[in-house]
């Protein structure tokens, strides 16, 4: 990817499924910080590379349109298929990300990256923020909001690095096990540390 310019400062937000990454991203946006969602870039990447994906996973395209749930069930049940999907989508995600960063004028940008540590994104970032929550709480949140079964959510959880390992690797960990007010307070404390660490006003 070549050498990265010194600015903007890039901080990756991550957390296992159901941890509250999107809630934290929304809180950051409400405070005026730009947040790039890699899930959104991945959706664009799947659209851009649709023909390749259709050849690889024809059963995930009933009627010619991608069924994301069918694709997820297929790839999360077979590591070989998951790697094949990533080989197509990830390079396109990285290309789209570099385009988005090139358009950014802000001194500090957050990237919401579900598989930050699993896919080796650390080298592209200045720091990392882990959103953490107990497993049972995370499972409950995802089942309630998505309609996925508990087993489908657990399959996605198993495809991710254990939260404890992420705690060891992350620059900051933000606990999301209480109220929204508690989450906001924790985030404000971390933002103060971010500003101090990187000399931002």
pLDDT digits (tens, 9 = 90+) for 47-85: 999 999 999 999 999 988 999 989 988 998 898 999 999
- Which residue bears the tokens 């500090």? 108
Tokens 């990285």 sit on residue = 94
Provide the 3-class DSSP secondary structure of residue 111: strand
Q: Is the pLDDT of residue 5 over 80?
A: no
Q: Where do the H-state alpha helices sit in 103-201?
A: 135-146, 150-158, 163-169, 180-198
93-134, pLDDT tens digit by residue?
999 999 999 998 899 999 999 889 998 999 999 999 999 999
138 in Cβ contact with 95 (< 8 Å): no
What span, in angstroms and rounded, lies between the C-alpha atoms of 89 and 95? Answer: 10
Nearest-10 crossing angle of helices 150-158, 135-146? 120
Distances (CA, A) of 8 to 79, 104, 132, 150: 35, 8, 26, 39
Instruction: Write down the pLDDT at residue 53.
Output: 95
Task: Kindly report, residue by residue over 133-168, the tens digit of the pLDDT.
Answer: 999 999 999 999 888 899 989 988 888 899 999 999
Residues of the chain with CATH 3.40.50.300: 6-34+108-196
Instruction: Give 4's contacts (C-beta < 8 A, 6+ positions apart).
Output: 124
Find the helix packing angle between 68-76 and 79-102, rounded to 10°.
120
Q: What CATH class has 6-34+108-196?
A: alpha beta
Single pTM value for the model: 0.84
């Amino acid at each position: 990817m070549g050498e990265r310019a010194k600015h903007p400062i890039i901080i990756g937000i991550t957390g296992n499924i159901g941890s509250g990454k999107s809630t934290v991203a929304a809180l950051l946006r409400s405070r005026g910080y730009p947040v790039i969602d890699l899930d959104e870039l991945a959706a664009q990447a799947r659209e851009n590379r649709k023909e390749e994906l259709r050849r690889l996973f024809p059963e995930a395209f009933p009627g010619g349109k991608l069924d994301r749930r069918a694709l997820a069930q297929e790839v999360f049940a077979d590591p070989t298929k998951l790697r094949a999907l990533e080989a197509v989508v990830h390079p396109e995600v990285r290309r789209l990300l570099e385009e988005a960063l090139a358009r950014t004028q802000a001194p500090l940008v957050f990237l919401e990256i579900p598989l930050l540590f699993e896919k080796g994104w650390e080298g592209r970032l200045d720091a990392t923020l882990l959103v953490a929550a107990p497993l049972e709480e995370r499972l409950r949140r995802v089942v309630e909001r998505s309609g996925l079964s508990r087993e489908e959510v657990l399959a996605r959880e198993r495809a991710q690095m254990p939260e404890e390992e992420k705690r060891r690797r992350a620059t900051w960990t933000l606990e999301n096990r209480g109220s929204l007010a508690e989450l906001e307070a924790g985030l404000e404390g971390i933002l103060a540390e971010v500003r101090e660490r990187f000399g931002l006003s």
